[in-house]
Structure 1
């Protein structure tokens, strides 16, 4: 009887291990099949991310629809946020939440009003320094959307700069293989995410809608102020007029951008050295001296040869 029980236990664990092995093989084959189907059917690898962004944009639209009531007032009170400047910021930030200039101005005034009421509530409740909050919190509410949109512009242009060399190398390889520029862009942008994908997707859509290629290039220039990206687009414009091969343009631009990136890294490293020296001189060194001096003083007072033993 004992031998039968032991045999059943061994058989049970053997079947468990066999099941886990088959389940692992199934998961692996399923993953490979999904990748193959994605490649064959041109399924977008970032489709879920795009849907999530659209959901966020829809949520922001519902939350900020009340800002339209403040839009007229916001366009009149436009300190540090002229309508032309706001339109330029929204364009260069990618306008992820699909805001209009009027709504942005309304959000600014809505936050200012909400900050004023919050400051009043804190003042009535008697919070410390609440008398300053009545002025500072509304100002923070006014400038917060401006600071956020400017930060988005900066981050987007930086992301554009980071992805450009790899993007250009891939496009150059595709062009040298005999693929047309438009087809190469359609294929390559599927494997990139962020500003590059957004900009060249819009570029392709404009070409499909009949916009002249030169005008589509100029629209790219207007939407981005990154120096390397503008240099690329201007080179494409010049090459289109002079008849320079596009593949050669992309290859040269990729090499130049990598060299420029290396120089920028060296420049940042050179700038970091004085900062480290400054911190060491004014923070680390004084603290170390104070610690050593403190230990010496304590040793003089409480040590074996302390001053107290002389009395």
Structure 2
């Protein structure tokens, strides 16, 4: 009977691994087919990605609609999340979940109360460490939206920093070929996917609506705190006011940005050396010494010329 149970368990896990393998193959095949269809029909992958993000935001708004009942309380209890800070986070993160400042303030209170009820339920059920859960989970629920927004802001600015050199080079080449700045931006951003495209698409839309170019540049500065991106926009404003050729501005900024990235890589490499030395000193060296000492002690006790044989 025990052998049958063991064989059934082995067969179950074998079938589970087989199902996972075929499911992974299905996902890869689906991804390749969608990519092939997009290439044939010239569907922009960015638009499909944007629709998916919009669907996720709509679903999130449906499940968090009860947070609107706590907006007033959330605006009064604003530890580490004052209204102007929240507005800045939403603006610089691109607001992927389509939150307002009021709903964000209500969401953290809603998650705090939900965490409190989860802690009470854990105490009733008798889960381990439930006495800590009733304190820890509400605090985690309160700070979870704050941490999420800060992470989104950092990720967005990192993506801008990553794509900016290639973007500058491409725009500079288009401008040197005689294309106007607006037309160059419209054509170049079609080949990028991420915050760079979102920001300059919004910039072009603002220009089309009649907003002054300098004001549109200022809005770009408000939405992004990346130093390299801000340096580019400030150089464009200065060049526009002083009459400096735009193509030259983009080219100089691209060269400066690549030099800055090289210096940052050198700085990270220099910082890595002491960390490697620290790990070697406090982890690898003691373990190696203990292994050698252990072999010596085993040889002394269990070897041919061990101390026990001499006694």
Name the TM-score class by shorter chain.
Answer: 0.7 to 0.9
- Matched residue of 1:267: which SS? helix
CA gap 1:103/1:161 in 2 versus in 1, 3 angstroms = same
Which runs of structure 2 are paired with 1:13-92 in the superposition (5 Å)?
Answer: 35=39, 38=42, 44-92=44-92
- The corresponding residue for 1:242 is 242
- The corresponding residue for 1:6 is none
Q: Does 1:220 align with 2:220?
A: yes
- The corresponding residue for 1:205 is 205
- Aligned partners of 1:191 and 1:45: how far apart in 2? 10
Is the 1:157–1:224 contact (alpha carbons within 8 Å) kept by the matching residues of 2?
Answer: yes
- Matched residue of 2:64: which SS? helix
- The corresponding residue for 2:290 is 290
- The corresponding residue for 1:129 is 129
- Aligned partners of 1:56 and 1:270: how far apart in 2? 41
User: How far off is 1:124 after superposition?
Assistant: 2.0
Is the 1:175–1:184 contact (alpha carbons within 8 Å) kept by the matching residues of 2?
Answer: yes
- The corresponding residue for 2:182 is 182
Is the 1:45–1:190 contact (alpha carbons within 8 Å) kept by the matching residues of 2?
Answer: no
- Aligned partners of 2:309 and 2:41: how far apart in 1? 88
Is the 1:111–1:142 contact (alpha carbons within 8 Å) kept by the matching residues of 2?
Answer: yes
User: How far off is 1:34 after superposition?
Assistant: 7.0
Q: Does 1:142 align with 2:142?
A: yes
- Aligned partners of 1:34 and 1:132: how far apart in 2? 51
Unpaired runs of at least 5, structure 1:
1-30
User: How far off is 1:127 after superposition?
Assistant: 2.1
Q: Does 1:100 align with 2:100?
A: yes
- The corresponding residue for 1:13 is none
TM-score, normalised via structure 2 length: 0.86
- The corresponding residue for 2:253 is 253
- Show CA shifts across 1:96-136 (max 9, x none): 11100111111111111111111112122222222111111
- Aligned partners of 1:96 and 1:129: how far apart in 2? 35
Which is higher, the Rg of structure 1 or of structure 2? 1
- Matched residue of 1:211: which SS? coil
CA gap 1:300/1:117 in 2 versus in 1, 3 angstroms = same
Number of paired residues? 276
User: How far off is 1:44 after superposition?
Assistant: 3.2
- The corresponding residue for 2:113 is 113
- The corresponding residue for 1:10 is none
Unpaired runs of at least 5, structure 2:
1-35
User: How far off is 1:156 after superposition?
Assistant: 0.5
User: How far off is 1:65 after superposition?
Assistant: 1.2
- The corresponding residue for 2:267 is 267
- Show CA shifts across 1:276-299 (max 9, x none): 111111111111111111121122
- Aligned partners of 1:119 and 1:248: how far apart in 2? 61
- Matched residue of 2:81: which SS? coil
Is the 1:161–1:226 contact (alpha carbons within 8 Å) kept by the matching residues of 2?
Answer: yes
- Show CA shifts across 1:48-98 (max 9, x none): 111111111111111111111121111111101101000000100010111
TM-score, normalised via structure 1 length: 0.86
- The corresponding residue for 1:28 is none
- Matched residue of 1:87: which SS? helix
- Aligned partners of 2:309 and 2:162: how far apart in 1? 68
Q: Does 1:169 align with 2:169?
A: yes
